[in-house]
């Protein structure tokens, strides 16, 4: 069989969370991913001598790792973790109760009874009283939050950490301080470990522009119109090609300084590309880059076609590296990633048995290899390029069993070689040629996630205005180079992709106010550095213009709820595309409530749910009361599983069950059942649930029917199935929590 080259690229990036006014990082994610992902990815790879991989390290991330490792930097979470309980203020305690449960519920909270008990106590009601928690409980919450973010590998290899895990409760100030110090010790190993493996040839390190900007938009924001002619652009055109060039040059310098060699490859942030972007890469001496398969389709006019299982119908075009010619004789090589494996890693495989998941992706790889057997080319490459940090908390043991099995399968296969990007382009004498690249990103082949929304556009106009004022200051000749350099650095930081990703619709970080604060703080810093007045508009949060989705809404209106009212609800949305939705029943679920009713709306994959078939298809909603009384009863779910790996949410017991069944192109009457003694279910026909099914299904469930009193909370889990066998768990990582208003 013809040998297939596999190029795996892991992209490591975190935004700049540090506030210059406080000196603290306002969010802990760089520190927490550092103890969970960055180093263990190398340690797992070390077990397979014949495998090589590529790591994209953003200089902004490296700055933060150095800050934590060598400068004793703190985020708000680590600062409070090291604070004596007796010194905690009311605001400190409120922050702890609001922020120290930010972890995947199923994988990182539920498995640990002591932490889960504290979680349920905290979220049993809408509000909370800081006095309801003892000093010891505050100490334990902080300790557990830090513990669960450690990769399990460290628990196995650091005896002191294992002892702290086993303690479970009664954590002391000294325990918490030791946890932070152990974290710093791990973080201090990361950069040296990457340097060692880079210089030895085990890995390749590539980079991104320093602060991770969306390069095509930074070079010329009009390119967004080329990608989507209907998009609205900011009032002021962004054409800061000089800034883009400086960010690229600074990233090269940073990588050479830390790792001993300049990078040959560059990762365009969010895989956003354009002809001008590639020309800038070529100008700065890069040999290769990577982007999404959707860009290849858009540029060649040939769609990357897949069957309903996601297998490429013809992998020939995608499984090649290309040469970008552009204007003149350019020689930049382009890898186009196969987006399916990346999406399966990120969104699907965490819900499966890791051995089954690893074998699934390996079998998909082998099918593509077989299809390439008749190709006239001698060499082909499959590129897997993806975020290397954010998906693993959805996996058992942070993805370790999955990666070990996948790497074993690949390393034992003599017909597959896992090599770096530079190694592949070096071995191929002639590459397919692209003279023109169509602009776009990995999401919908356009830039709409970073520009076009009124709030995103307003943010660009703020950037434009501040930069314009800085240029006027530069031209005045009244400032030293050191002052101007400091001011320009603030401008570069504001060009990061993350601010624009979270501003406006459709993304919601849950902490948009912090991103807004940091964005405006950097802009304000420009004026403070120049010692001129800060414009008033920079003192007002852009957040005030945002639409908030609170989950509160009005009752049914003439049997249906108006479309605008569903905008004020919580939303869970399935991935788009036939690869994911061909076997799914549900595309979107909306959750809302008022003082009397809980409201649900299901947008179905109608071709699937309403298929003319005798097979029963089910959508079941389980309710778990959090305010338990003496007469409360709980029963297990009534589904079978195809696997012995059961999502943790389905191992729990529930109070009520709302069952919907679809058969022979129609929906059967909804049934509401309640738990009774001996873990049994009783179908209660005396209920007041109302529903309307016209394409979408809208349901009103009286809180009184499921015994949720005012201010009390209820966990909600949605399960789909065929003939009582589980197909999918909606919101598998944690239940939806709804609180009945007064």
Segment 498-512, tens digit of pLDDT: 999 988 877 777 778
- Contact residues for 193 (Cβ-Cβ < 8 A; gap 6+): 39, 42
Instruction: Please tell me the predicted confidence (pLDDT) of residue 560.
Output: 39
Instruction: Please tell me the predicted confidence (pLDDT) of residue 566.
Output: 56
| Beta carbons of 45 and 198 less than 8 angstroms apart | no
Overall fold of domain 4-14+200-434: 7-stranded beta/alpha barrel (3.20.110)
User: In 10 A of CB 560, how many CB atoms?
Assistant: 13
| Distance from the first to the final alpha carbon of the chain | 68
How high is the mean pLDDT of the chain?
A: 88
| Beta carbons of 5 and 379 less than 8 angstroms apart | yes
Sequence-ordered alpha helix ranges (H) in 416-502: 421-427, 454-476, 481-494, 497-502
pLDDT tens by residue, 118-151? 999 998 766 678 899 999 999 999 999 999 999 9
Structure tokens at 702: 């009286």
| Beta carbons of 321 and 431 less than 8 angstroms apart | yes
| Range 438-452 average pLDDT | 94
pLDDT tens by residue, 36-70? 999 999 999 999 999 999 999 999 999 999 999 99
Q: How far apart are CA 204 and CA 57, in angstroms?
A: 10
Q: How far apart are CA 698 and CA 700, in angstroms?
A: 7
Report helix, strand or coil for 593: strand
pLDDT tens by residue, 327-385? 767 789 999 999 998 889 988 898 889 999 999 999 999 999 999 998 888 899 999 99
666: pLDDT strictly greater than 50: yes
Lowest mean per-residue pLDDT among 229-243, 620-634, 687-701:
620-634
Instruction: Please tell me the predicted confidence (pLDDT) of residue 484.
Output: 96
| Beta carbons of 45 and 404 less than 8 angstroms apart | no
Instruction: Please tell me the predicted confidence (pLDDT) of residue 251.
Output: 98
| Beta carbons of 556 and 562 less than 8 angstroms apart | no
At residue 568 the predicted structure's pLDDT band, cuts being 50, 70 and 90, is low
At residue 558 the predicted structure's pLDDT band, cuts being 50, 70 and 90, is very low
Q: How far apart are CA 488 and CA 494, in angstroms?
A: 10
At residue 548 the predicted structure's pLDDT band, cuts being 50, 70 and 90, is very low
| Beta carbons of 226 and 281 less than 8 angstroms apart | no
Give whole-number Cα distances, 700 to 310, 446, 566, 597, in Å: 37, 38, 13, 6
261: pLDDT strictly greater than 70: yes
How many degrees, rounded to 5, is the angle at CA 528 between CA 524 and CA 534? 50
Residues of the chain with pLDDT > 70: what percent? 90
| Beta carbons of 495 and 270 less than 8 angstroms apart | no
Query: Left (φ > 0), alpha (ψ -120 to 50) or beta: where does 276 sit?
Result: alpha
Instruction: Give kind and range of the element (H or E) at residue 406.
Output: helix 400-411
Instruction: Give kind and range of the element (H or E) at residue 619.
Output: strand 617-625
Q: How far apart are CA 263 and CA 265, in angstroms?
A: 6
Instruction: Decide the pairing of beta strands 288-292 and 332-337.
Output: parallel
pLDDT tens by residue, 579-619? 334 456 787 888 888 888 999 988 877 656 655 566 778 89
Give whole-number Cα distances, 385 to 282, 307, 330, 345, in Å: 21, 21, 24, 10
Lowest mean per-residue pLDDT among 172-176, 300-304, 724-728:
724-728
Q: How far apart are CA 586 and CA 600, in angstroms?
A: 13
Report helix, strand or coil for 136: helix
Residue with token string 């009124």:
454
At residue 238 the predicted structure's pLDDT band, cuts being 50, 70 and 90, is very high
pTM: 0.78
165: pLDDT strictly greater than 60: yes
390: pLDDT strictly greater than 80: yes
**Beta pairing partners, 636:** 653
At residue 569 the predicted structure's pLDDT band, cuts being 50, 70 and 90, is low
Structure tokens at 414: 């003599």
| Range 540-557 average pLDDT | 48
Lowest mean per-residue pLDDT among 125-134, 441-450, 483-492:
125-134
Please state the φ and ψ torsions of residue 676, each to the nearest 5 degrees.
-130, 180
Report helix, strand or coil for 329: coil
What are the b/e assignments for 289-321, b being 16+ CB within 10 Å? bbbbbbbbbbbbeeebebeeebbbeebbbbbbb
| Beta carbons of 334 and 320 less than 8 angstroms apart | no
What architecture (CATH level 2) is domain 454-545?
Answer: Up-down Bundle (1.20)
Q: How far apart are CA 374 and CA 2, in angstroms?
A: 9
Structure tokens at 199: 């210089």
- Contact residues for 170 (Cβ-Cβ < 8 A; gap 6+): 136, 140
Nearest in space to 604 (alpha carbons), one of 699, 673, 672, 671 = 699
- Contact residues for 3 (Cβ-Cβ < 8 A; gap 6+): 379, 415, 416, 417
At residue 235 the predicted structure's pLDDT band, cuts being 50, 70 and 90, is very high
Residues of the chain with pLDDT > 90: what percent? 63
């Amino acid at each position: 069989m013809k040998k297939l080259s596999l190029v795996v690229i892991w992209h490591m990036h975190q935004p700049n969370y540090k506030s210059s006014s406080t000196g603290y990082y306002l969010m802990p994610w760089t520190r927490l991913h550092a103890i969970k992902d960055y180093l263990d990815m190398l340690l797992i790879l070390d077990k397979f001598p014949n495998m090589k991989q590529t790591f994209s390290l953003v200089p902004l991330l490296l700055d933060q790792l150095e800050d934590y490792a060598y400068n004793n930097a703190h985020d708000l979470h680590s600062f409070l973790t090291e604070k004596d309980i007796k010194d905690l203020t009311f605001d400190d305690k409120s922050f702890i109760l609001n922020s120290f449960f930010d972890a995947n519920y199923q994988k990182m909270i539920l498995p640990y009874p002591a932490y889960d008990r504290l979680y349920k106590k905290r979220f049993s009601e809408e509000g909370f009283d800081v006095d309801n928690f003892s000093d010891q409980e505050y100490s334990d919450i902080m300790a557990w939050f830090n513990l669960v973010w450690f990769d399990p590998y460290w628990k196995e290899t650091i005896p002191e950490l294992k002892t702290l895990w086993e303690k479970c409760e009664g954590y002391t100030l000294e325990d918490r301080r030791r946890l932070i110090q152990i974290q710093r010790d791990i973080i201090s190993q990361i950069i040296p470990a990457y340097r060692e493996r880079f210089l030895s040839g085990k890995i390749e390190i590539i980079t991104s522009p320093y602060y991770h900007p969306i390069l095509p938009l930074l070079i010329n924001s009009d390119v967004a119109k080329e990608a989507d002619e209907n998009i609205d652009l900011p009032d002021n055109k962004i054409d800061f090609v000089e800034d883009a060039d400086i960010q690229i040059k600074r990233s090269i310098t940073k990588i050479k300084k830390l790792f001993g060699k300049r990078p040959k490859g560059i990762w365009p942030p969010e895989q956003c590309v354009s002809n001008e972007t590639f020309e800038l890469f070529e100008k700065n001496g890069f040999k290769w880059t990577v982007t999404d398969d959707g860009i290849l389709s858009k540029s060649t006019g040939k769609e990357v076609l897949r069957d309903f299982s996601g297998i490429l119908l013809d992998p020939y075009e995608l499984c090649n590296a290309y040469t970008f010619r552009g204007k003149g004789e350019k020689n930049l090589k382009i890898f186009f990633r196969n987006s399916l494996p990346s999406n399966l890693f990120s969104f699907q495989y965490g819900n499966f048995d890791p051995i089954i998941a690893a074998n699934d992706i390996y079998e998909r790889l082998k099918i593509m290899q077989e299809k390439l057997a008749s190709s006239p080319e001698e060499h082909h490459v499959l590129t897997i390029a993806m975020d290397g940090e954010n998906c693993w908390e959805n996996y058992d043991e942070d993805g370790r069993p999955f990666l070990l099995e996948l790497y074993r399968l690949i390393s034992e296969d003599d017909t597959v070689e896992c090599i770096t990007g530079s190694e592949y382009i070096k071995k191929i004498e002639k590459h397919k040629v692209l003279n023109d690249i169509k602009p776009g990103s990995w999401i919908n082949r356009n830039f709409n996630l970073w520009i076009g929304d009124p709030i995103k556009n307003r943010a660009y106009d703020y950037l434009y205005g501040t930069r314009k004022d800085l240029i006027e200051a530069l031209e005045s000749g009244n400032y030293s180079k050191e002052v101007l350099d400091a001011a320009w650095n603030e401008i570069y930081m504001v060009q990061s992709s993350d601010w624009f990703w979270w501003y406006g619709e459709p993304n919601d970080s849950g902490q948009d106010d912090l991103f807004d604060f940091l964005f405006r703080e950097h802009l304000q810093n420009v004026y403070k550095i120049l010692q001129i007045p800060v414009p008033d508009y920079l003192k007002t949060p852009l957040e005030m213009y945002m639409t908030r989705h609170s989950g509160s809404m009005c009752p049914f209106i003439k049997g249906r709820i108006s479309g605008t009212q569903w905008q004020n609800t919580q939303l869970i949305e399935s991935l788009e595309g036939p690869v994911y939705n061909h076997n799914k029943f549900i595309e979107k679920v909306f959750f809302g409530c008022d003082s009397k009713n809980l409201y649900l709306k299901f947008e179905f994959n109608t071709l699937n749910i309403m298929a003319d078939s005798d097979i029963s298809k089910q959508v079941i909603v389980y309710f778990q009361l959090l305010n338990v009384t003496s007469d409360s009863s709980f029963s297990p779910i009534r589904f079978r599983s195809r696997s012995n790996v059961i999502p943790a949410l389905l191992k729990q017991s529930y109070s009520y069950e709302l069952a919907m069944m679809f058969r022979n192109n129609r929906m059967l009457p909804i049934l509401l059942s309640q738990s009774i003694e001996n873990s049994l279910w009783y179908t209660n026909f005396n209920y007041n649930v109302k529903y309307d099914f016209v394409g979408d299904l809208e349901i009103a469930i009286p809180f009184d029917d499921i015994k949720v009193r005012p201010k009390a909370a209820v966990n909600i889990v949605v399960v789909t199935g065929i003939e009582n066998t589980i197909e999918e768990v909606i919101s598998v990582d944690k239940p939806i929590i709804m609180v009945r208003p007064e």
